[in-house]
A and B are shown apart, each in its own frame.
Chain A
């Protein structure tokens, strides 16, 4: 049993905009690429060119089809990684102290030197955000790129998680939720940022911006609003030419 800090100074985390995410997997691969060569053991790929390739990823995009009444079906792309919960069950379940939540910024990490690969934390995480690396035998998870965000060897503007830096649509945002004026706090407030499965009491830090209402214009009612724009001109050929002649005088 590993204890959680009473309070963290910052609450670093992500805002993920589901209205903007096109499901391109850029974040999935940039995460893999950074983390396979940096913090801890590489992210292995077993049977990489074979029948059942299975690798370790710290971030994956899941695709769902939503069928709503009276509307065409929708596709929602849902990127998922560790939510850096304030009440992280993966930490409290860890028998060796390998899983921990950082006191200064709230990032949940695995100290791989102490990880015995028992997998209890993955069972405890209700979000399925941890993956055991089959080659290294240690638990892997999102580090919020802890080795980028404070890294003085990279330019200041690049000190953000790899997934945020790479996202082509700008659907991912990184910041401090403890600061009510931070970009992530403001965005989350403005767009009704969702906490994932709040009923579990894990108090996740990351927030998801829900998709905006789509296909919202029912055919007949909106026509009324915009109909004056499409008032037909006189039906006859001479009527059209007459309209044209008058219209041409306007410029």
Chain B
């Protein structure tokens, strides 16, 4: 045999012709990406190593961007419906015709009654533009997808501590020693969390995962708490109980940085009961520990007392801290009292409380960095309690979610672990208290701009949104007694309410980037009926639907007019400080997308970035701010708007490279070369916070001054954390009969419970309306790390990872029902039943079943073959969830949402399971197929052949 000769290999092949740096959009994470191009085609996408969000790493979705960009499901031209709604029968039209049709529908609405337009955008990252457009149009009916996503988390965080998790803040990954994560979707903020977990693992810091399902992050947690769904608040308040009983709370932190010392009126039955004692300037009062006298909370040099009480005018006033101690130290919050309901032993709850206390108070860390607080007091060091938390939809998507999120923030604050080294840190533009946000606005007048921003933070009953007759002003009934603090609106109720004409009928439903006929709605089957329902005249009950999407989704089939969007590599975007920027805890940062490849759809009218189409439609309608005095368009497209629009003088969509010289940070005149400056800088801009301002931001004078300099605020906005949320108490007082603004009687009891100004736990509503014997199990969805909502199934690579979604059944349930491999089951709720394939999983709460979210597809959608497993074995739990609670005697439509914010209570679902005859092994219900306006994908793919 001849000796083996190793072949010659070129170790340095050319990688690409050019690298263009932009921002990923395979999920909402907003990582920086380097897009390699060869011969004008996308050859390779990798993480941008200089980028603050992902520092070079990239997830499966991000690396699969090529397959999304070249997806066969991409729309190619504006579409006009020619068949029945839902059929998917369209004809392609020109952009001129499409915009003429849209303007022809919307113009008369604006002139006559702007409320007849419901404009709801989905998972877009351009809400500062879309809300501005909706205000200019004058409709009160605008929101994005937060209502069915995680508004409980956002609102609870902002009302309590001026910021929440995810894009509002982050654990101090470099310093934290104990990290506790509750119910987090694995596709969200996915790279920063994975990077952070990796850093903790390197250091051997402990991770505790609280989640009924032990997948993803929970799989690597050092300790897994497989909690019963909907009981997180109960568990957290038992931890609070233990910490209070042991005195393991940070009294100095509570005294300095929270409203724990505020005096609360104890005159039960009076209209002042439970409100803060205030001086003549309206400032809340605290007891001066030196003098025992009440003084304004912000008086310099005063050390506030938590232990005293004040008797004045026959009324006892007690500090918030005493009320909370009394509330949580009772036996009903003891570990033994909650253990069975939570599915966690009392010993274990006590041990976790002890671990939290140990790390927070025995492993305290300090940084030798002097700083000055908002009262002018100088501190030599920054002291931190290295315990941090993160949570998302798992705790928030319940009807007790708002209060549960509040409970978690209470726990963080009692431990003194927010905005300190090793704890949880805010990212600019947060911290920002609820009072620094706008209040909601709804005053619509024909032909006029709305009187202010749609969404905001109510401070009491007087801020609710009603018309002159006392009816809900908004189609989604946001900011009403049903859900007073619905800061993100209720997108999930729009179709249902519009169909029911409750509170009124609309003319045009205009939506963007949310698959509302399918996986983004509860009760998907019924929603499709609502979208296609006709009145006695044969007209659609919802008269007109305009929808914008980049892909042939299920929702496309239900629109009358489609405005086709671009892929994320073909568009301009700004990840803006006015919206949801890419800041880090130690830096202000924003970024852009730009067309790294041109949007080409040869032989078709082509696609436009939705935001450009919206601006052009606005100009056609003559909306204020979008047309010049001579009637010409102010902005040609979104890029023009991004660069030249000013929200306040000197403050625009992009914070970096402002001013004529391009050196302005946060503030400065529009710069005609700004987008190019971003491109030259790798697609983003970053400005680091000075060392002195890095922690204690809500109370740190240097941070406040820096934030004003950078245009984040126009004046310093220091504030104290609101352990006790007084605006909530005002709603309770109204429910008790006090004040001019009174709720309807049927909501009084609910308001008294749900609007508790201190965090409270009550059972998820579903438990009160279903028989727990009949529906003994909990059913959940999780989002896989390698998919983002419905988008991934059109992706040839990602669908090979998650092409099917069996129902995962706990070992206990599996055995009870005698399931065997390959079995199918009927899963039933109070509302409906579905037939699904089952798989056993033991790393799961024993009374829970779950599946991956949004894998199931309608036949004909997403350019998939009708035989695709997603359309045959894939299924949605959505069919089991009703957007309404069962009718009560009062005849009202009770929303299946959190009673504080209106967040969709997806995870309240209770089910029963039975073995099913596998039959043809097709999931039920099946929806008849939709015709694909883009045909079907090619049989085989060999991407890269051309290079």
Contact = CB atoms under 8 A, between A and B. Distances in A.
Interface of A: 1-3, 17, 19-26, 28-30, 32-34, 36-38, 41-55, 57, 65, 67, 72-77, 97, 100, 102-103, 109, 111, 113-114, 135-136, 146-147, 150-154, 157-158, 162, 165-171, 211-212, 214-217, 219-220, 222-223, 226-227, 229-233, 237, 240-241, 243-245, 247-248, 250-251
A49 B938 contact: yes
List 5 tightest A-B contacts by C-beta distance, closest first.
Answer: A49-B937, A37-B944, A168-B194, A73-B842, A150-B11
A223 B939 CA distance: 60
Interface in B41-87: 43-47, 49, 54, 56-64, 66, 72
13 contacts: A23-B215, A25-B59, A37-B947, A43-B944, A136-B942, A153-B12, A154-B15, A158-B46, A170-B57, A214-B221, A229-B354, A232-B245, A244-B321
Contact of A168 (B13, B59, B222, B868): B59
Interface of B: 1, 3-4, 6-7, 9-15, 43-47, 49, 54, 56-64, 66, 72, 186, 190-191, 194-195, 197-199, 201-202, 214-224, 226, 242, 245-248, 251-252, 255, 289, 305-307, 321-322, 325-326, 329, 345, 347-348, 350-351, 353-355, 357-358, 361-362, 785-786, 794, 796-801, 803, 811, 841-844, 863-865, 867-869, 936-945, 947
Nearest to B199: A170
A61 B197 CA distance: 19
B785 A241 contact: no
A237 B869 CA distance: 63
A49 B354 contact: no
Contacts of A147: 10-13
Contacts of B199: 170
Contacts of B865: 47, 49-51
Given A230-B248, A233-B247, A22 B214 contact: no
Contacts of A222: 351
Contacts of A45: 796-797, 800, 940-943
B242 A103 contact: no
Contacts of B194: 22, 24, 168-169
A103 B945 CA distance: 29
A245 B4 CA distance: 85
Nearest to B937: A49
Given A30-B63, A74-B224, A212-B222, 6 more contacts: A100-B4, A135-B940, A154-B15, A170-B195, A229-B354, A230-B357
A166 B216 CA distance: 17
B58 A97 contact: no
A72 B796 contact: no
Nearest to B940: A46
Contacts of A217: 223, 351
A251 B222 contact: no
A3 B843 contact: no
A2 to B, nearest CB: 6
B60 A25 contact: yes
A77 B219 contact: yes
B190 A251 contact: no
A243 B939 CA distance: 74
Given A29-B64, A153-B13, A44 B46 contact: no
A21 B220 contact: yes
Nearest to A135: B942
B923 to A, nearest CB: 15
B937 A219 contact: no
A166 B245 CA distance: 46
A248 B306 contact: yes
Given A166-B63, A251-B251, A152 B354 contact: no
B246 A17 contact: no
A153 B18 CA distance: 12
A170 B198 contact: yes
A108 to B, nearest CB: 12
A236 to B, nearest CB: 11
Contact of A103 (B6, B61, B202, B329): B6
B853 to A, nearest CB: 16
Given A75-B843, A151-B15, A214 B45 contact: no
Contacts of B794: 49
B358 A229 contact: yes
A131 to B, nearest CB: 12
A118 to B, nearest CB: 18
A241 B247 CA distance: 11
B220 A20 contact: yes
Nearest to A60: B801
A63 B781 CA distance: 19
Nearest to A74: B843
A3 B4 contact: yes
Contacts of B305: 248
B190 A241 contact: no
A50 B866 CA distance: 8
Contact of A33 (B44, B220, B252, B939): B44
B868 A51 contact: yes
Contacts of A19: 201, 220
Residue of B15, B223, B844 contacting most chain A CB atoms (<10 Å): B15
B796 A49 contact: yes
B220 A22 contact: yes
Contacts of A215: 222-224
A247 B12 CA distance: 68
B66 to A, nearest CB: 6
Given A48-B796, A151-B12, A168-B54, A2 B201 contact: no
Contact of B358 (A22, A25, A226, A237): A226
Nearest to A53: B800
Contacts of B197: 20, 22, 169
Nearest to B31: A168
A226 B940 contact: no
B244 to A, nearest CB: 9
Contact of B353 (A74, A166, A230): A230
A237 B307 CA distance: 11
Nearest to B872: A51
Contact of B940 (A32, A47, A166, A247): A47
B868 A219 contact: no
B223 A214 contact: yes
B941 A22 contact: no
B351 A223 contact: yes
Given A22-B217, A169-B195, A53 B57 contact: no
B598 to A, nearest CB: 21
B12 A152 contact: yes
Given A29-B63, A147-B13, A170-B195, A72 B307 contact: no
B72 A49 contact: yes
B216 A168 contact: no
B940 A168 contact: no
Contact of A26 (B60, B214, B222, B868): B60
B800 A30 contact: no
A52 B944 CA distance: 22
Nearest to A3: B4
A29 B59 CA distance: 8
Contacts of A154: 15
Nearest to B840: A65
Residue of B54, B61, B306, B943 contacting most chain A CB atoms (<10 Å): B943
A181 B57 CA distance: 26
A44 B940 contact: yes
Contacts of B863: 49
Contacts of B869: 51-52
Contact of B945 (A42, A171, A237): A42
A72 B226 contact: yes
A91 to B, nearest CB: 9
Contacts of A158: 46, 49
Nearest to A37: B944
A24 B768 CA distance: 37
A231 B246 contact: yes
Contacts of B796: 45, 48-49, 53, 55
Contact of B47 (A166, A216, A243, A250): A166
Given A24-B786, A34-B44, A102 B12 contact: no
